[in-house]
Chains A and B, each alone.
Chain A
Amino acid sequence: MERFLQSVERRAFVTARMATHDDEEALDIVQDSLLKLIKKYSNRPEQEWGPLFNSILHSRINDWYRRRMVRNRWRVFWRGDGDDEAAAGPEEWVAQTLFPEPDQQMDSDILGERLTGLISQLPLRQQQALMLRAWEGYSIEETADIMSCSIGSVKTHFARAVSNLRAKLGEYR
């Protein structure tokens, strides 16, 4: 189990950080996911741990988004300074203002930083579909299971993610 956790924790952190844009929140999400996997599923066969862990991780990220959205709505209600971002659903909510401008990103020589910046700007579900399919290497069916959605939705999210990413890349080429 320890070897498995060691092999997934860094990737999980990168995934959570891209979704939350916050190191502390990402660390909490990873820690919660590790704990839940250990407490509930450590007796399951080892080959199931990967998909189970990713299900937990993405479910935690979704929960975080929902909580954040509720907080934002209350803030809008009390202060009356709402904007379109707060009104949008979690899947479409993109905190672009938390990131450096694209030209600044392109100044960076580090591929990882540049890419994570671009992926972070994608809507959450597109991020998840892209990372599970392209990075974790899950099939469409497995990705649908992990994301708790239909195969058609995975295809749509993934295609849109790739298209958006290509567009962003095109802007900098």
Chain B
Amino acid sequence: MNNEHEHGHVDVEQWVRQGLDTSVEQLEPGILARLQLGREQALKALPEPEPEPGRQEATAAAGRWGVFWRSHAWMRAGWVLVVLISATLWLDRVFFMSPPNAPPVSLMVEDMPIELFMSREGVELELLDNLDMYEWLAAEYG
């Protein structure tokens, strides 16, 4: 009895499979064309592929920063002010001020070893010859 029941199930299942496969094969051309059209329209709704995880995080961070930047006017003004002050200080230092902590020329000459002093360009030998006299003058009247 049970075998007969199982056998009946198998028969019906096979018949269902065969019959439905046949009905799929026999679909009318008009229906097939509309199914194809429907598929093409549905595929247009396919979402864009998601960016790679790293790029996605970078994009998200950039987006967050952009929102923050746009929503804080005071911050924009602050940034502009900082940039202007930095530029002014830099220009002033480069073009208008002598380098700080630069030793005076006289000190440099006195402290310099004689060989090094002699090796410099533009040293007048006459000045070297009369060095004693200049030292005396400096001690007397300086």
Contacts and interface: CB of A to CB of B under 8 A. Distances in A.
Contacts of B117: none
B19 to A, nearest CB: 3
B82 interface: no
A105 to B, nearest CB: 12
Given A13-B27, A38-B45, A166 B35 contact: no
Nearest to A161: B12
B104 interface: no
B39 A110 contact: no
A10 B24 contact: yes
B57 interface: no
Given A112-B26, A115-B19, A116-B19, A2 B35 contact: no
Interface residue SS majority, chain B: helix
B87 to A, nearest CB: 49
A27 interface: yes
A31 B38 CA distance: 6
Given A34-B42, A166-B8, A13 B31 contact: yes
Interface string A51-68: 000000000000000000
Contact of A38 (B13, B18, B23, B43): B43
Question: Chain B contact residues (Cβ within 8 angstroms of A): what range?
Answer: 20 to 34
B10 to A, nearest CB: 10
A28 B29 CA distance: 17
Interface in A97-141: 110-116, 119, 130-131, 133-135
A112 B24 CA distance: 8
A82 B98 CA distance: 106
Interface in A55-107: none
Contacts of A113: 23, 26
B41 interface: yes
Which among B9, B19, B21, B47 has the highest number of chain A CB atoms within 10 Å? B19
A106 to B, nearest CB: 13
Given A1-B46, A38-B42, A115 B16 contact: yes
B35 to A, nearest CB: 5
B22 interface: yes
B134 interface: no
B72 interface: no
Contact of B20 (A1, A27, A135): A135
Interface of B: 8-9, 11-13, 15-27, 31-32, 34-35, 38-39, 41-43, 45-47, 50
Given A112-B26, A114-B19, 6 more contacts: A13-B31, A13-B35, A38-B42, A42-B46, A112-B21, A134-B12
Interface of A: 1-2, 5-6, 9-11, 13-14, 23, 27, 30-31, 34-35, 38-39, 42-43, 110-116, 119, 130-131, 133-135, 162, 165-166, 169
